[in-house]
Chains A and B, each alone.
Chain A
Amino acid sequence: MKQQAGMTLIVKTVTRISVWLIMLYGIYIILHGHLSPGGGFAGGVIIALAFLNVMLAFGRDFIKNWLNIEMLHDIDSSSAMMFLAVGILGMAFGGSFLANFISHGTLFNLVSSGTIQVLNIVIGLKVGMGLFIVVWALALFHLDRKEMK
């Protein structure tokens, strides 16, 4: 298991291209959450799966250098806080907690629907980072135990 980090060359080459496509698709899904099926949760999972793809193809050591796990933790908690901040801002400007206080724009435009889009982005970030951290932690758990033995 240990002698070869990650999978074969073919997988690695394909992954190198496909990761960005997957991530782009995730971002598309998040940004169009108010127009088409999908939204923050679906897009967030797609982004997490893109990271997961890299981890499975290249191995855990690679991803440690490629991504700053600390930063993922911080994005995870700060995006959760941003959701709350949108709520509090709604209280200040919209008269009620989580009120949709930004202008709604025109229906069917990409930038429209006020806080719905903002919240979709926030949720996407939160879900993407958070779920990847879970898989990362589970993977690291086995690594830790193996080193101990």
Chain B
Amino acid sequence: MILPFFIIIPLLTAFIITLIAGERDNWAAILSILAVISLVALSIFCFATLNGRTIVYEMSHWKAPIGIILAVDALSAFMLIIVAVIALTSLMFSVHYIRHLSPSWKYYALFMLLVTGMNGVIATGDLFNMFVFVEITLFAAYSLVAYGSKAEEFEASFKYAIMGSISSTLVLVGIGITYAATSTLTLAKIAEVLQQKDPMVTLWIGGIFLAGFGLKAAIMPFHAWLPDAHSSAPAPISAMLSGVLIKALGVYVLIRLFFNVFGGITIFNEVFIILGTISIMVGGFLAMGQWDFKRLLAYSSISQIGYIILGLGLGTWLGIVGAVFHLLNHAIFKSLLFYNAGSLETAFGTRDLRKMGNVAKTLPITSFTSMIASLSISGVPPFNGFFSKLIIIIAAIQAGRPVYAILAAVGSLITLAYYMKVQRFGFHSQNVVPVEKDVISFGMNSAMIILAILCLATSILIIPGIREVTLDPIVAVIMNKTGYISQIFGR
């Protein structure tokens, strides 16, 4: 019964905001924060009560192949939690940050539509429905990227929109061919029917979907739009885009399709491993050459998504644990880093690392949290990023692919190098740049502190007793294709 509320709550909030819009911009902020808090509670409740089952909700009261179903299992619930938590911190950060961008009610309405779209993609069990919600998310994202009405924002948004339209068209081709081949749109039914078909069909459909959703996940050959879009958007939106959007629309959908629906075709695993490794290396090298903080972070996202894809491609239990764990961690620390970038931009009016200075004195919280995030993302022991990267590297060795393990380790060193560069030149340089006192509001600071605490706290997920109830059910869902089908049809 609770599943439709994941869509109803944010959608209703967006509609109410547009209706009462006008002078009451504060209402919009309060309403959306309330909505997102309820989503956090709902998603945690959902995850806690799952116990390895799949909750299925039949929309319009029609059974699975006839109507549309919502299906939430451990993986979906996990993604819902990530979306809700990052959205909450992002809203806390936004309240002050977007004050100079006039009519802010549109911002909140679009933000809620963004959340609606991602929740819809994650919760659905129907291929075409997934496409529709992907479109909602992308439309909201295009307009939010262009929200500041600066020339380069329009440019980034246009590029993003064109890339999005190419990828959506490819996905639609895939959907059409899937329908022609299987005559159904329910994911579980497709999985069942494709098992009896020529594997060439699966291969072909898979190739189209890999190109379509790979564009959205910004895996290496399809990455060109990401640095522009993610660095031009307002900081809280960059955090949403980099932190959750490319995961919900890209990685989550790829997992769902390639493990639960097409599962069992090894060639895709090889492709994932190779693309993942290329992403790690090239993203890392490109990030190293950047002086624009947000652009550096955007390239770093490509590199970190590479780790997730590599872990998935290994296909072993350990590799997938690492991938899922890294997905969570990356959402946390990349969002935190984008908030840092946003608060530096508020304080110094620039994103160029060379023009910043004495951050540690003037903005202690920003400086401290960015240190934690940088250490996390570069994989320094007590923080969460270390564990997930370590697991992926160990998994690569165990799977008998030492070359990829070495490359992943080198990628980690590159990450460390460019985050040390950020710390050295951005935060601890000798420049003295004047800053007004108290430019960073309470909401912005608390958003950063919450995520910094989460950076440490999520490390405990890897402790055996806790891992069994958190990460293991997710991995079980990913690895068990027949389980996915039978759970949905209730057999």
**Chains A and B come from one and the same complex:** yes
| Contact in complex: B8, A84 (CB < 8 Å) | yes
Interface residues on A, range: 10 to 19
In the bound assembly, the distance between CA atoms of A95 and B60 in angstroms comes to 8
Partner of B4, one of A74, A77, A97: A97
Tell me the total A-B contact number using a CB cutoff of 8 A.
39
| Contact in complex: A74, B19 (CB < 8 Å) | yes
Closest A residue by C-beta to B22: A70
Over the window 1-42 of chain B, the binary record of Cβ atoms lying under 8 Å from chain A Cβ atoms (1 yes, 0 no) is 000100010011001101100000000000000000000000
Q: A52-105: which have CB < 8 Å to B? A: 73-74, 77-78, 80-81, 84, 87-88, 90-91, 94-100
Partner of B57, one of A80, A81, A84, A97: A97
Partner of A81, one of B15, B58, B60: B15
A77 in contact with B19 given A84-B12, A87-B8, A91-B4 (CB within 8 Å): yes
Q: List residues of chain B with CB within 8 A of the CB of A97.
A: 4, 8, 57, 59-60
Closest B residue by C-beta to A115: B60
| Contact in complex: B59, A96 (CB < 8 Å) | yes
Q: How many residues of B contact A (CB 8 A)?
A: 13
| Contact in complex: A96, B15 (CB < 8 Å) | no
| Chain B contact residues: helix, strand, loop or mixed | helix
| Contact in complex: B60, A100 (CB < 8 Å) | yes
Nearest-Cβ distance from residue B32 to partner chain A, whole angstroms: 15
Closest B residue by C-beta to A99: B61
Closest A residue by C-beta to B19: A77
Q: List residues of chain A with CB within 8 A of the CB of B58.
A: 96
Q: List residues of chain A with CB within 8 A of the CB of B11.
A: 84
| Contact in complex: A99, B4 (CB < 8 Å) | no
In the bound assembly, the distance between CA atoms of A74 and B20 in angstroms comes to 9
| Contact in complex: B16, A81 (CB < 8 Å) | yes
Q: List residues of chain A with CB within 8 A of the CB of B19.
A: 74, 77-78, 81
| Contact in complex: A77, B59 (CB < 8 Å) | no
Nearest-Cβ distance from residue A90 to partner chain B, whole angstroms: 7
Q: B52-107: which have CB < 8 Å to A? A: 57-61
Nearest-Cβ distance from residue A1 to partner chain B, whole angstroms: 26
A99 in contact with B15 given A87-B8, A91-B4 (CB within 8 Å): no
Nearest-Cβ distance from residue B135 to partner chain A, whole angstroms: 16
Interface residues of A (CB under 8 A from B): 73-74, 77-78, 80-81, 84, 87-88, 90-91, 94-100
Q: List 16 A-B contacts (CB under 8 A).
A: A77-B18, A78-B19, A80-B15, A81-B12, A81-B15, A84-B11, A84-B15, A87-B8, A88-B8, A96-B59, A96-B60, A97-B4, A97-B57, A97-B60, A99-B60, A100-B61
Interface residues of B (CB under 8 A from A): 4, 8, 11-12, 15-16, 18-19, 57-61
Q: Ordered nearest first, which 8 A-B pairs have the shortest CB separation?
A: A96-B61, A77-B18, A97-B4, A81-B15, A99-B61, A98-B60, A77-B19, A99-B60
Other A-B contacts than A74-B19, A99-B60, A100-B61, 18 sampled, CB-CB below 8 A, are A73-B18, A77-B19, A81-B12, A81-B16, A84-B8, A84-B11, A84-B15, A87-B8, A91-B4, A95-B61, A96-B58, A96-B59, A96-B61, A97-B8, A97-B60, A98-B59, A98-B60, A99-B61
